Amino acid sequence: MLFNSIGYLIFLPLTVAAYYALPGKWRWILLLAASYLFYAMWKVEYVLLLMAATAVSYYAALGMEAHTVKKRKKPWLWAALTVNLGMLFIFKYLGFFTGLISGLSDLTGLPGQIPYYAILLPVGISFYTFQTLGYVIDVYRGVTKPEKHAGIFALYVTFFPQLVAGPIERARNLMPQFRQEHAFDPAAFASGLRLILWGLFKKIVIADRIAMLVQPVYGQPEYFHGIQIAIALPLLIIQVYADFSGYTDIAIGSARLMGFRLSRNFNRPFSARSVADFWNRWHITLTTWLRDYVYFSLPSRFRGKTAAWRLNLNLIITFTLVGFWHGAQWNFLIFGLIHGIYMALANISKPMMEKFNRFSGLAAAPALLKALNQASTFLLVSATGFFFGQHSFSSTLTLIGNITDFSNTGIALKQMLQNNDFTLSLILIVFMLRFEALASRPGWKEHFMQRPLPVRLAAYLAVLFFLLIFGIFTRQEFFYFQF
C-alpha cells in the first residue's frame, strides 16, 4: 500500500480511530493486524517471509537467553543470521551472483553456466531484515533482553509506518513503546499531521516533478550530453532526498498520530561539510546500523600506521556494503566504494588540509570555509550520481562518456530554461532547502504555532492546494521501495 494512495488515506484514519477507541491492552492486536494487512495489500504470499523472519529471530533470542556463556549462544545467533541473511540473499542477491558466475564462465571458457533467477524482490526486505538482525545481535551482546511476548515482538518487526522503507528501528527504542498506553495528545497529533503533509509535499510536488527531468537522462543516456548530464546528476540526488525523506516524514508522522516516536532518518544532508558529515545526516538509521554491527566488528586492534590503514580499509568495506545494500548491481557497489574512498582520503589528507586552511587564510574566514566545504561535499556526492539507480552499467558508461561533450551547451541551456518543469523544480528545491533550514532553528516551530490561526491555515491550505494540483493520488512508488 502506497502512502500516496486513496487506500492509505482510508487505512490510516480508520486505524488511528480504532487505536484510540480500544482499551490499551488490546491495541497491540489491532496494530499487528493492521500491519499485516498493510503489507498483504502489496503481495499476500510474501507475508509468510515476514512471519518466518519474525519467528526465527524471536525463538533465537529466547534460545540465547537460556545460556550465560557466549559460546553456547552462538548456535542460536548463527541460526538467526543464516535464515535472515539467507532469505535476503535468495530474493535480492541470487540473480546477481548467478549472473556473475555465468559471466566468468563465458570469459574463461570453463563450464559453469547456471540458470539466472529473476525473483520478485519483497518490498522492504532489506529494512526488516536489518531490524531483526540488529535485535538478535543486541540480545547476543547483552545490550537488549529478549522480548517474551511474541505479539509485541511481531509488532516490532512489522509496525506499518516504518515496515517497508524504514527508519530501521532498534529494539530498545521502539519495543518499550508498544507496552505504553498512549493517551491522545493534541499537540503530538497536530505535529504528526504536519509531518505527513510536508512529506507528501516533498514526494508528490518536488520529487516526482524532478523525476520528470532526470528519468529521461538515465533511461536514454545516448541522447544527452555535457551540461544536461552535469545538471541531471545533482538533480537525481535531490530527487532521491525529497522522495525518501518525504517517505520518512510520512512514516514518522503516521506513528506520531498514535503517540509513537520513530527515529530521525535525515538531518539536512545538503548542509554537510564533508562526505562523512553527509552520511551522518543521510539515512541515519542505516549508517548507524552498519557502524554498530559491521564497522565496529571488523578487525581494528593495530598500532601506528597499520592502525590508520586498517581503519580506512574498514571504512571502505563498510561503505561498499552500504552500496550493495541498496541493490544487487555493479552500479551500487561502485557507488558505495567511492563514498568509502572519499572518507578514507579525507582521513589521510586531513593534516595537510588543516595546514592549507591556515596558510591560505581560510581558517580565519569560517563562513567562507564552511561554504566551500558544503559546496565541495555536494559536488562530490553529486558525482556519485552516475552510479545510483537501477539503470544498467552500460548506461552509466554512456553517461560518463557523454558528459565530456559540451559542444551544444548554449542550445541545451536555452531548452532547459524554456522548460517550465525545470524552472518550477528549481524554485521548489530552493523553497524546500530554505524551509528546512528555517525549521531547524531553535524556537522556529514554536514561533510558527504562535502565529494567528488564519495565517497557519493559509499555509496548510497552500500545501494542500499544491498536492491536489500535482496529483495526491498518483501511483508513483517511493524510490526506496526497490530496496
Residues 6+ apart with CB under 8 A from 143: 172
- How far apart CA 31 and CA 152 sit, in angstroms, is 10
Helices (H), 327-471: 330-360, 366-383, 393-402, 409-417, 420-439, 444-449, 453-470
Helices (H), 43-185: 47-65, 70-88, 94-108, 125-141, 150-158, 171-174
Cell of 413: 541551456
Cell of 470: 500535482
Amino acid present at 342:
Y
Residue 179, CA atoms < 13 Å, CB-side half-sphere = 12
326 is catalytic: yes
**What contacts 24+ positions apart, CB below 8 Å, involve 378-386?**
378/234, 378/270, 378/272, 380/275, 380/342, 381/237, 381/275, 381/278, 382/233, 382/234, 382/237, 383/233, 383/338, 384/335, 384/338, 384/339, 385/232, 385/233, 385/234, 385/236, 385/237, 386/233
Identify each DSSP E strand in 126-265 by its residue range.
none
Residue in 149, 182, 225, 326 annotated catalytic: 326
CB-CB contact of 481 with 120 (8 Å): no
- How far apart CA 88 and CA 355 sit, in angstroms, is 46
Cell of 38: 498493510
Cell of 417: 530554461
Hey, which residues are catalytic here? 326
